[in-house]
Amino acid sequence: MPRIEFVDVTNRDGEQTARISLSKLQKTVINWLLDEMGVYQSEMGFPLSEHEANYINANVALTKEGSDDNGDGAFIKYLQLSGWSRALASDVKIAQDRTNVEHFNLSISTSEQMLQWKFRGKFTQDDIIRMMVDSVVAAKEGGALTAGINAEDASRTDLDFLIRFAEAGKEVGADRFRYCDTLGYDDPTSIAERVAVIAREVAMPVELHCHNDLGLAVANSCAGAVACCEAGQDAYINTTVNGVGERAGNADLVSCILALKYSAKWGQDDLVASSIDLSKAWKLASYVSKAFNVPIPINQPGVGANAFAHESGIHADGALKDRHNYELYDYETLGRGEIIHTQTGRVITAGAHSGASGLEYVYNQLDLGFHDDEHQRRVLKLAQLANLHNQAPLTQEELWFIYHCPDITAQLLTVRP
């Protein structure tokens, strides 16, 4: 049966959001946590950009045998890592010369609005298809394992042209067609109808990339994905953690999973890939919130502070008698329920000004001891540099990663090839 997988774009579309950014170490930890959650793919960044090269190559190395703590398996075990590129063969070739990225998402605008007012009439629809085809050929000839083709502003693009675009890509080896609701223009009915036609006519998996300008990103993503499955094709939903993204944001990862698991109609079907482990949701959402320095909205589904909070007497009474009176799903399902303690006495932090004794104390709190003096000196230097890169206190996840992956950390903390 067709299934729904998730392609998280926090490290690309989320990170290019105005006013916020991530360090390369933070992006790496996000990939690690996405892998733990069983997400299919992370669109990790821009392989064309020089400052992304070391980060991309380091993360690809984490997917290879011998990169785990013991040097046996892969540190990132399940997650595929993809790079976003303009659908230009020249960009793809530079990206492949610069990085070891094995999966590409190739993007080009397709709507008449964009052809006339972004490209200023320089390109026809046939030109758009030709450029896309050339980029797919370049990616595959350069060794890419998969290449997806992205129709930017698909929701405002003529449907017949989208079908021609997708068919042309499929003929030269494109693996998925990405339907981009770039301005959040669609509604659940329109996107379901259009995606179903594309899936049937082209017989190709469809990826849903929805923005939240009208507050419909989650609903549109799920409606489009279900319609794609009903048309006989696997679907892929693009998400970001906590819905962060350009303008009003993207489809939130946890919200999409919850909607597909627990809503009245969609929740009756086992559509979500079995790899997804929702018990990792709270840890992932909390880390991304700290990394972006953007608080999780109090009413965020599943992971917001009020998602399981009750004050009304009627609601509190009902929830205490049986949680399912007023809670659609259990907080334990999302990895919540742990009591969080805040230190009110002595606090030792790890950062740019740390010394050996303080660092040893911090790692002892994580039940980690140094192998020898050389290991301690190296981890201390990397922790100092990582604090400078993040411009924020190091989290437990970051400290753990630095300790276990010092070589990769060193690669992440420099842009020098």
Reading the block at residue 225, the tokens are 């994905």
Residues 22 and 141 in one domain: yes
DSSP conformation class of 11: I
**Is position 345 within any domain?**
no
Residue 272 and residue 157 share a domain: yes
292, 319, 337 — which closes off a domain?
Answer: 292
> Model's pTM, two decimal places?
0.97
- Give the pLDDT of residue 194: 98
Q: What is the dihedral of CA 401, 406, 407, 409, to 10 degrees?
A: 50
Task: Confirm whether 373 is domain-assigned.
Answer: yes
**For the chain, how many structural domains are there in total?**
2
Q: Is residue 229 part of a domain?
A: yes
* Residue 351: inside a domain: no
Same-domain status, 171 and 251: yes
| Residue-number span of the structural domain to which 399 is assigned | 356-412
**pLDDT tens across the length of the chain (417 residues):** 899 999 999 999 999 999 999 999 999 999 999 999 999 999 999 999 999 999 999 999 999 999 988 788 999 999 999 999 999 999 999 999 999 999 999 999 999 999 999 999 999 999 999 999 999 999 999 999 999 999 999 999 999 999 999 999 999 999 999 999 999 999 999 999 999 999 999 999 999 999 999 999 999 999 999 999 999 999 999 999 999 999 999 999 999 999 999 999 998 668 899 999 999 999 999 999 999 999 999 999 999 999 999 999 999 999 999 999 999 999 999 999 999 888 899 999 999 999 999 999 999 999 999 999 999 999 999 999 999 999 999 999 999 999 999 999 999 999 787
User: What's the pLDDT score for residue 321?
Assistant: 95
68 and 182 in a single domain? The answer is: yes
CATH number at residue 16: 3.20.20.70
Same domain, 249 and 176: yes
- Does residue 154 sit in the same domain as residue 286? yes
Q: Is 343 inside a domain boundary?
A: no
Same domain, 373 and 234: no
Instruction: Tell me if 103 is assigned to some domain.
Output: yes
Do 88 and 160 belong to one domain?
Answer: yes
DSSP 287-328: HHHHHHT-PPPTT-TTTSTTTT---SHHHHHHHHH-GGGT-S
Whether residues 167 and 26 share a domain: the answer is: yes
Residue 341 is predicted with a pLDDT of: 83
- Verify that 288 and 367 share a domain, yes or no: no
| 225 within some domain | yes
Tell me if 259 is assigned to some domain: yes
Torsion, Cα of 18, 24, 27, 33 (10° steps): -160
Distance (Å, whole) CA 46 – CA 160: 30
Distances (CA, A) of 7 to 38, 51, 227, 241, 412: 11, 23, 18, 11, 23
Per DSSP, helices labelled H in 177-252 are 188-202, 217-230
- Domain boundary (272, 292, 312) is at 292
Same domain, 287 and 369: no
pLDDT score at 72: 84
96 shares a domain with 181: yes
Asked which of 276, 292, 308 is the last residue of a domain, the reply is 292
Q: Measuring CA to CA, which residue among 240, 334, 318 is closest to residue 280? A: 334
Q: What is the 3-state secondary structure (H, E, C) of 100-160?
A: CCCEEEEEEECCHHHHHHCCCCCCCHHHHHHHHHHHHHHHHHCCCCEEEEEEECHHHCCHH
Place of tokens 């950390």: 409
281 sits in which H/E element: helix 281-292
